[in-house]
């Protein structure tokens, strides 16, 4: 070929990475591995092959852990945790720093092993995965250093079970292990069956840097092993990344166990392109968004939503670009697309693509042929797709892009939100106004403006809706591995018996339910008697049912404008509530005395302080600008969750009601509250305060009745976004099990809490009332 012809075609020659050091490393281990437990490798028993998907050749034999090995790993982690957690943050920082260093020194070996085992291009493992892994350990060495200063009121959760998928094996390991260790936890991690090798290489590094035995334990095997870790009573928290289906199972299995849980699940992320966007940048963005790692990315921009006027032009440009993508040996440094991880995944992609064609969408693939040997699938573009089509709704997890068009920004946003997922979104426009407006309106944990697939250890990543809950990275991610230190409650004088005898009620007052700003009768027209302190009946409340809850949830959704009211306006309403409660303080104190037999004055006073606190926090519990290595800005925005169900305890019936409702509404949520079943009358009195305090209709809805019956309805309701439950252990389990359907965030308690204490107020409540959205905005030329 002449030089002129080379300039014309820009043809690359092969540039293969030398895999010999990686094979030598595998040989040195006899191409067979056991588990890493208590600082040592075990021989392992039953083994299965880990295969190079690009060639079909076995790489190594991986051990399948039995119950005894999982037990041994958890026990080792348990033994190690007190010592590791008690180390000064600086000592843990040195260990994490050593791991970062060691990873850096062996990064090429790890990148090649990852490419061999997973099939992804060396360009990605070498230039994306490994640098991100290393950065994660450095960044979290920093958090370990600052732990005592930054989190004085928090402690490690304990032993953490971590289960990671095969698409970013070492990176997902880093996302999980680095923050857990930094905060003083010990871990038992299970890598995915298809891709365990780099986790085992990492275990070797842990031993080499002298990490104390038992701090990191790695057990390999199939989903059974994951399930054993999840169910193990010695594990305090599960952190899982993988499919929504398995996430749901894990939610059910851990329900009621008291285990903390974070789930990073699937997505069907929108890639929204407006007509003023720079189309050449968009094309490169799409390449990164859907063909990075062959589309096997949880946040892949798999739905291309294009404004109608430019749809044709963009499709043409994309096709031209797809013709020039290079697919082949993943070890070739000039290759864009490598192999699909396993036959089962290839079959799934193929099946879904065929279904797309059968449902009437138009398929386009480039003219070049895929390699014959190995597991390859060509980049694929679907047009003429209906928003309800299977390929527009289901996560394909392959190099398949589904394009649809829209006319107005409102239509584009509606289309973007037309999914049960909410992991990420990418918005392309030259208008700052439009870009930021979309970013706020799209329901997703991360929004990239004029960019895609940017991640960093300093910025949290995680989903809304069925993409899971919890964050990885950033300060917000650390709270997944921390729990508040509960101090013994400050001694308060024992409440005195009410001095004044409860006055006889003059006129029978009938508390109703409070839904959509109106007092309404319960659907089934049954009432529950309320016993007073003496045991005599002091009133009756409506017995709410499924229909009442449904109406309340509907009313709460109709109050969605509360979420976009200014924080100042929300604070004003909370102050006003305090003002109106203060005006009736004596009456509320008497009512408390009637119900509980204790003087209620102090409780009403505490309610006023609490309302003031959340009024103060309304405009102060806010986000951050993350220090990520990006030219531009990454905003961590604190957003309300949506509709929050709150099931109140019996203790301190007015104060616990106010202490839960106030943070939720301060942060912009609308709530459906089930007040104390035993002492509901303070809550039904309180709706009169709500009525006079400018609380918009539907922001607070009160449904009285049987606690666990109503909690079960709220837990199963798909339009309730989060549920706080204060009741029994059995009730908590039931709530967690039922919430697996739509994977709503639950916050359950069955232990006694001192509602007068400072611990019953503050950031713990505010965190539960919010979710963090990260908005990435690169800028400059
Ligand atoms: P899974 O959710 O099955 O696997 C993720 C991890 O969980 C693996 O380590 C797996 O082990 C383990 N696991 C499997 N079953 C259980 C269980 N019952 N309890 C505990 N752990 C378990 O995903 P798949 O690998 O099967 O992929 C299927 C689909 O999931 C993909 O097509 C894609 O749509 C989605 N997915 C999404 C990911 C994301 O990042 N959001 C990542 C991976 C997949 P093992 O590997 O041995 O099965």
C-alpha of residue 687 to centroid of ligand 1, in Å = 47
- The strand ranges marked E within 274-315 are 303-307
The C-alpha atoms of residue 505 and residue 312 are separated, in whole angstroms, by 74
- Centre of ligand 1 to C-alpha 351, Å, is 18
pLDDT beyond 70 at 713: yes
Q: How far apart are CA 243 and CA 263, in angstroms?
A: 9
443-465 pLDDT, tens digit per residue, is 999 999 999 999 999 999 999 99
Tokens 């990671």 correspond to what residue?
Answer: 164
Give tens-digit pLDDT for 207-244: 999 999 999 999 999 999 999 999 999 999 999 999 99
Q: Which of 161, 163, 194, 223 to mutate to test the pocket of ligand 1 (most atoms within 8 A of CB)?
A: 223
If you average pLDDT over residues 567-596, what whole number do you get? 94
Kindly state the helix (H) or strand (E) to which residue 136 belongs, with its residue range: helix 130-150
Q: Is 230 in the pocket of ligand 1 (CB under 6 A)?
A: yes
Active site residues: 264, 298
The confidence score (pLDDT) of residue 759 equals 84
| HSE of 627, CA atoms in CB hemisphere, 13 A | 4
pLDDT at 510: 77
Assess whether the C-beta atom of 196 lies below 6 angstroms from ligand 1.
no
Say what the pLDDT of residue 754 is. 93
What tokens appear for 268 in the block?
């069907």
pLDDT band, very low/low/confident/very high, at 616 (cuts 50, 70, 90): confident
Give the number of other CB atoms < 10 A from CB of residue 692: 15
> Among the atoms of ligand 1, which is closest to the Cα of residue 398?
32
Give residue 630's pLDDT: 85
pLDDT band at 274 (very low <50, low <70, confident <90, very high): very high
What is the distance in A from the centroid of ligand 1 to the CA of 246? Answer: 7
Looking at residue 490, what is its pLDDT?
A: 61
Tokens of 550: 């449904």
Specify whether the CB–CB gap between 99 and 206 falls below 8 A.
yes
Two structure tokens written together for 133: 């892994």
**Is the distance from CB of 241 to CB of 172 less than 8 angstroms?**
yes
Q: Full-prediction pTM beyond 0.75?
A: yes
pLDDT recorded at residue 14: 83
Which residue among 65, 173, 243 has the greatest number of ligand 1 atoms within 8 angstroms of its CB, and so is best to mutate? 243
pLDDT exceeds cutoff 70 at 621:
yes
Site to probe by mutation for ligand 1, drawn from 231, 242, 292, 453 as the one with most ligand atoms within 8 Å of Cβ, is 242
With tokens 């967690």, the residue in question is: 736
CA 755 / ligand 1 centre spacing (Å): 41
Which of 212, 181, 216, 192 is CA-nearest to residue 202? 216
- Cα(345) to ligand 1 centroid in Å equals 11
Q: Is the CB of 163 inside a 6 Å radius of any atom of ligand 1?
A: yes
**In angstroms, rounded to a whole number, what is the distance separating the alpha carbons of residues 732 and 261?**
14
**CA-based nearest residue to 644, from 620, 663, 621, 622:** 663
Q: What is the mean pLDDT of residues 69-96?
A: 97
Share of the chain above pLDDT 90, in %: 90
Residues 6 or more apart whose Cβ sits within 8 Å of residue 237? 157, 158, 159, 160, 161, 185, 259, 260, 261, 262, 480, 481
Closest among 327, 434, 459, 467 to 773, alpha carbons compared? 459
Choose the residue to mutate in 62, 165, 743 for probing ligand 1, maximizing ligand atoms within 8 Å of C-beta: 165
Is 60 exceeded by the pLDDT of residue 500? no
- What's the average model confidence in pLDDT over 597-601? 94
85: helix, strand or coil? helix
Sign for the CA dihedral angle at 353, 355, 358, 359 comes to: negative
What does pLDDT average to over the chain?
94
Per the structure block, which two tokens stand in for 45? 């028993």
The reply to whether ligand 1 has any atom less than 6 angstroms from the CB of 734 is no
**C-alpha 305 to ligand 1 mean position (Å):** 28
390 lines ligand 1 (CB under 6 A): no
111 contacts: CB under 8 Å, gap ≥ 6: 122, 125, 126, 129, 130
Does ligand 1 lie within 6 Å of residue 249's CB atom?
A: yes
Q: Is 243 in the pocket of ligand 1 (CB under 6 A)?
A: yes
Which residues, listed in sequence order, are joined to residue 81 by a DSSP beta bridge? none
Nearest by Cα to 186 from 162, 153, 207: 162
> How wide is the angle at C-alpha 133 spanned by C-alphas 463 and 183, nearest 5°?
70
| Atom 28, ligand 1: residue with shortest CA distance | 243
- Angle (CA) 281-287-291 rounded to 5° is 165
Tokens 């990492």 correspond to 202
pLDDT value of residue 11: 72
pLDDT band at 752 (very low <50, low <70, confident <90, very high): confident
**CA-to-CA distance for 127 and 133, rounded, in angstroms?**
11
Distance (Å) from CA 228 to ligand 1 centroid: 15
When pLDDT is averaged across residues 424-447 and rounded to a whole number, the result is 97
Nearest CA to ligand 1 atom 9: 192
Sign (positive or negative) of CA dihedral 188, 194, 199, 200: positive
What is the average pLDDT across 610-628?
Answer: 91
Largest CA distance in the chain: 105
Q: State both tokens at 770.
A: 């919010």
> Quick one: 781 exposed, middle or buried, by C-beta within 10 A (0-12, 13-18, 19+)?
exposed
* Ligand 1 and 192: CB distance under 6 A: yes
501 has a pLDDT exceeding 70: no
Residue 226 Cβ < 6 Å to ligand 1: yes
Say if ligand 1 is within 6 A of residue 265 CB. yes
Strand order across the beta sheet in which 400-406 lies: 362-364, 380-383, 400-406, 303-307, 270-273, 424-428, 446-449, 770-778, 632-640, 624-625
pLDDT in tens, 326-379: 999 999 999 999 999 999 999 999 999 999 999 999 999 999 999 999 999 999
Cβ(409)–Cβ(427) below 8 Å = no
Residue 461 DSSP one-character state: B
Q: What residues are paired with 745 via a beta bridge? A: 722
Lowest-pLDDT range, 131-140, 502-511, 698-707, 722-731? 502-511
Least confident of 381-385, 537-541, 668-672, 674-678: 537-541
Could you read off the pLDDT of 127-149 as tens digits, one per residue? 999 999 999 999 999 999 999 99
* pLDDT tens digits, 255-269: 999 999 999 999 999
Q: Does the beta carbon of 241 sit less than 6 angstroms from any atom of ligand 1?
A: yes
* Any atom of ligand 1 within 6 Å of the Cβ of 293: no
C-alpha 192 – ligand 1 centre gap (Å): 7
Ligand 1 atom 22, closest CA: 223
Residue 494: per-residue pLDDT: 61
Say if ligand 1 is within 6 A of residue 190 CB: yes
Closest ligand 1 atom to 249 CA: 18
Rounded to 5 degrees, φ, ψ at 378 are -70, 155
- Of 337, 286, 341, 291, the residue nearest 314 (C-alpha): 286
153 CB within 6 A, ligand 1: no
- From the list 689, 619, 700, 688, the residue with the least C-alpha distance to 660 is 700
Q: Where are the alpha helices (DSSP H) in 692-772?
A: 707-716, 729-738, 763-768
Distance (angstroms) between ligand 1 centre and the Cα of 25 equals 27
How many helices and strands (H and E) does the chain possess?
Answer: 28, 31
Residue 505 has pLDDT above 60, yes or no: no
State both tokens at 165.
């998928």
Q: Which two tokens stand for residue 400?
A: 């398949």
What is the Cα–Cα distance from 530 to 521, expressed in whole angstroms?
17
**What per-residue confidence (pLDDT) applies to 12?**
74
Ligand 1 nearest-atom number relative to CA 345? 32
**102 CB near ligand 1 (under 6 Å):** no
The reply to whether ligand 1 has any atom less than 6 angstroms from the CB of 167 is yes
Mutate to test the pocket of ligand 1, among 245, 246, 345 (most ligand atoms within 8 A of CB): 246
Q: Which atom of ligand 1 is nearest to the CA of 395?
A: 34
692 C-beta closer than 6 A to ligand 1: no
What is the 577 CA–ligand 1 centroid distance (Å)? Answer: 48
Instruction: Return the bridge partners of 541, or none.
Output: 528
Task: Quote the CA–CA distance of 501 and 469 in Å, as a whole number.
Answer: 49
80 C-alpha to ligand 1 centroid (Å)? 28
- Does the structure show a pLDDT above 70 at 592? yes
Tokens describing residue 248? 């749901």
Query: How many angstroms does the Cα of residue 242 sit away from the middle of ligand 1?
Result: 4
Question: pLDDT tens across 645-691, in order?
Answer: 999 999 999 999 999 999 999 999 999 999 999 999 999 999 999 99
Residue nearest to atom 13 of ligand 1 (CA): 223
Contact call for residues 364 and 379 (beta carbons, < 8 A): no
- Res 499: pLDDT: 54
Q: What is the pLDDT of residue 648?
A: 97
How far apart (Å, rounded) are the C-alpha atoms in residues 723 and 641?
10
């Amino acid at each position: 070929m002449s030089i002129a012809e080379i300039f014309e075609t820009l043809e690359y020659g092969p540039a293969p990475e030398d895999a010999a050091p990686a094979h030598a490393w595998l040989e040195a281990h006899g191409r067979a591995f056991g588990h890493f437990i208590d600082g040592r490798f075990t021989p392992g028993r039953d083994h299965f092959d880990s295969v190079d998907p690009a060639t079909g050749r076995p790489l190594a034999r991986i051990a399948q852990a039995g119950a005894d090995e999982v037990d041994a790993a958890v026990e080792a982690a348990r033994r190690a945790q007190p010592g590791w957690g008690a180390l000064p943050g600086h000592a843990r920082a040195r260990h994490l720093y050593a791991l970062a260093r060691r990873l850096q020194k062996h990064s090429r070996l790890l990148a090649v092993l990852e490419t061999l085992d997973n099939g992804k291009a060396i360009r990605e493992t070498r230039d994306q995965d490994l640098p991100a892994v290393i950065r994660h350990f450095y960044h979290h060495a920093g958090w370990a250093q600052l732990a005592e200063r930054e989190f004085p009121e928090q402690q490690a959760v304990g032993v953490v079970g971590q289960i990671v998928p095969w698409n970013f094996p070492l990176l997902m390991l880093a996302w999980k292990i680095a923050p857990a260790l930094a905060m003083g936890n010990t871990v038992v991690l299970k890598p995915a069956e298809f891709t365990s090798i780099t986790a085992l290489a990492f275990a070797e590094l842990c031993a080499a840097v002298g990490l104390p035995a038992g701090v990191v334990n790695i057990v390999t095997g199939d989903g059974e092993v994951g399930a054993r870790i999840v169910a193990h009573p010695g594990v305090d928290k599960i952190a899982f990344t993988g499919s929504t289906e398995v996430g749901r199972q894990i939610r059910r299995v851990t329900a009621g166990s008291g285990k903390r849980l974070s789930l990073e699940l699937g997505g069907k992320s929108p890639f929204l392109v407006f007509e003023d966007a720079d189309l050449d940048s968009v094309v490169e963005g799409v390449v990164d968004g859907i063909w990075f790692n062959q589309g096997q990315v949880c946040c892949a921009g798999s739905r291309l939503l294009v404004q109608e006027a430019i749809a044709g032009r963009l499709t043409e440009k994309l096709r031209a670009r797809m013709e020039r993508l290079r697919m082949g040996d993943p070890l070739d440094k000039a290759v864009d697309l490598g192999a699909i991880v396993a036959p089962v995944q290839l079959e799934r992609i193929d099946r879904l693509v065929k279904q797309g064609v059968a449902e009437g969408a138009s398929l386009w693939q480039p003219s070049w042929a895929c390699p014959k040997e190995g597991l390859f699938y060509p980049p694929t573009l679907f047009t003429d797709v209906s928003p309800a089509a299977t390929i527009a709704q289901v996560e394909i997890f392959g190099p398949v892009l589904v394009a649809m068009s829209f006319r107005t920004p409102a239509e584009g946003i509606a289309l973007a939100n037309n999914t049960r997922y909410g992991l990420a979104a990418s918005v392309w426009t030259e208008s700052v106004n439009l870009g930021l407006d979309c970013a706020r309106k799209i329901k997703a944990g991360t929004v990239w403006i004029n960019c895609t697939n940017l991640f960093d250890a300093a910025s949290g990543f995680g989903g809304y809706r069925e993409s899971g809950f919890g964050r990885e990275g950033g300060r917000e991610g650390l709270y997944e591995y921390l729990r508040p230190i509960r101090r013994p409650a400050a001694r308060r004088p024992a409440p005195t018996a009410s001095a004044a005898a409860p006055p006889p009620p003059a006129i029978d007052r009938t508390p109703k339910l409070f839904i959509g700003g109106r007092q309404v009768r319960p659907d089934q027209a049954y009432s529950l008697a309320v016993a007073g302190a003496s045991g005599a009946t002091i009133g009756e409340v409506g017995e709410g049912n499924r229909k009442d809850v449904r109406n309340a949830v509907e009313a709460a959704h109709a109050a969605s404008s509360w979420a976009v009211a200014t924080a100042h306006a929300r604070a004003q309403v909370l102050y006003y509530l305090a003002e109106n409660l203060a005006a009736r303080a004596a009456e509320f104190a008497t009512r408390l005395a009637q119900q509980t037999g204790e003087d209620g004055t102090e409780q009403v006073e505490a309610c006023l302080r609490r309302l003031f606190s959340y009024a103060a926090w309304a405009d102060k519990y806010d986000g951050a600008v993350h220090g990520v290595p990006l030219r531009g800005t990454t905003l961590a925005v604190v957003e309300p969750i949506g509709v929050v169900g709150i099931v109140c305890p019996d203790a301190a019936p007015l104060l616990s009601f106010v202490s839960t409702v106030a943070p939720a509404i301060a942060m912009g949520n609308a709530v459906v509250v089930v007040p104390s079943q035993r002492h509901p009358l303070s809550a039904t009195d309180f709706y009169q305060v709500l009525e006079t305090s400018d609380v918009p209709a539907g922001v607070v809805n009160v449904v009285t009745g049987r606690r666990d019956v109503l909690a079960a309805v709220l837990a199963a309701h798909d339009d309730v976004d989060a549920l706080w439950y204060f009741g029994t252990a059995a009730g908590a389990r039931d709530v967690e099990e039922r919430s697996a359907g739509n994977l709503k965030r639950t916050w359950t308690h069955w232990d006694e809490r001192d509602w007068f204490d400072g611990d019953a107020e503050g950031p713990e409540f505010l965190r539960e009332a919010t979710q963090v959205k990260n908005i990435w905005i690169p800028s400059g030329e």
